[in-house]
Amino acid sequence: MKQISKRKQPVKVNAQLRHYLLTHGRGIDIPIQYPHLKNFSDSIALYDKKGKDTLWETCLYPQSDTEQIHHDLLKIYALLKTGGDVNILEHLAVERIDYCLYGNSMPFRIRIVNKLNDNFDYFYVKYADASRIYGLEFEHLLSPNRISYLVSGDTLIEEHIVGVPGDDFLKLYFKKENFNAIRLAKEFVKFNERCFIRLLGDMHSSNFVIQVIPDFEEIHYRIRAIDFDQQSHEGRKNVYLPQFYKQNKAYVELATQCLSKESIYQYQREERSIMVARLKAAKWPLFNLLHAMKNDNISTEENIYLLKNELAYHYKNNRFLKAKNMADILKTCLFQLL
């Protein structure tokens, strides 16, 4: 499958979306912005434990700036984790600031370490792309996962989502000891359904993680998206279905081998039913978010035309043909649940 048409250009946050973010506690002032972190004087390649290049670079800043940068980043971490309670910062330090050139958002990854026990955590500083913010908020409202993020000006702060990247899981854990094929297959079916209904694209194995959760008798899995740049952007229906990505072939084969058609249908219906409950619980935030999205330019006329026609055919529902933008299309997708 030819996947994403071309590198998507970031979209600035419009007034309606910024109002939504402020209303729901996402918009906030922070002491340092994304462009400031780009003023590093040098960088060195970052390698993993096996000596493989991670494609991240560790940034080096002038000594005169480093202390203030670290102080500001710790304050952002407190805002993200505890609502700004700086008492937690006494034993924390910024250990590393990494920069990634290959992603759409060109993020900075901040490694925070606890000086008392060497435990560490990450968060990300990115350019505030409106498409990604919509993706994050729809994930927060319509999935089983909660997302912590903040927006200030043109800067987006995101928490780190813990899990094994989908492509690494295939190498390290797939069909190994304690592997529960049926439960993973079930989770992939439900993840596939969620992405399609809420129009989150580009969910190949590098863009989601798998959380391995021990249950009292067995192992449970949860698949979580970690890349939200392709929220309601592309025009082809299959872009929003993880099952059509070649990188996900092993997961698709696992589902078809382990699950009957009746079971797959059951899990799809389960996910839709749960999403209906989430939709009703988040009725007004969703209404306001879709209103902001309606006045935004996160896709092209060509993509809008193509997607609404493909979905009208798929669902046998001509209401899609009346859509004028991606917000209308997504709203009609959600109404399909009802």
Render 179-221 in DSSP notation, one character per residue. --HHHHHHHHHHHHHHHHHTTB----GGGEEEEEEE-SSSEEE
Ordered structural domains, the chain, with CATH: 15-159 (no CATH), 164-337 (1.10.1070)
CA 159 to each of CA 77, 148, 165: distance values in angstroms, whole numbers, following the listed order? 9, 6, 16
pLDDT of residue 6: 56
Residue 1 pLDDT level (bands cut at 50, 70, 90): low
pLDDT of residue 152: 96
List of residues 6+ apart from 68 with CB closer than 8 A: none
Residue 121 pLDDT level (bands cut at 50, 70, 90): very high
- Would strands 92-100 and 108-114 be described as parallel, antiparallel, or unpaired? antiparallel
- CA atoms within 13 Å, Cβ hemisphere of 66: 12
Q: What is the mean pLDDT of residues 159-182?
A: 92
What percent of the chain lies above the pLDDT cut of 70? 97
The tokens describing 99, both together, are 């920069």
159-185 burial: b if 16+ Cβ within 10 Å, else e: bbbebbbbbebbeebeeeeeebeebbb
pLDDT of residue 325: 96
- Token look-up 């906030």 returns 28
> What amino acid is encoded at 20 in this protein?
Y
Secondary structure class of 54 (helix, strand, coil):
strand
**H/E stretch holding 133:** helix 130-142
Q: 135 or 103: which carries more pLDDT confidence?
A: 135
Distance CA 155, CA 83 (A): 18
Task: Give the mean pLDDT of the chain.
Answer: 93
Residue 4 pLDDT level (bands cut at 50, 70, 90): low
Secondary structure class of 15 (helix, strand, coil):
helix
> What amino acid is encoded at 47 in this protein?
Y
Range with the poorest average pLDDT among 92-106, 204-218, 319-333: 92-106
What percent of the chain lies above the pLDDT cut of 90? 84
Q: What is the mean pLDDT of residues 182-192?
A: 97
List of residues 6+ apart from 30 with CB closer than 8 A: 72, 75, 76, 79, 150, 152, 155, 157
The tokens describing 46, both together, are 């970052």
Please choose, from the candidates 97, 104, 95, the residue with its C-alpha nearest in 3D space to the C-alpha of residue 56: 97
pLDDT of residue 2: 47
Give this prediction's pTM. 0.94
Q: What is the mean pLDDT of residues 122-136?
A: 96
Q: Tens of pLDDT along 34-55? A: 999 999 999 999 998 888 888 8
Q: How far apart are the first and last CA of the chain?
A: 31
pLDDT of residue 320: 97
pLDDT of residue 332: 97
- pLDDT of 168 higher than 50: yes
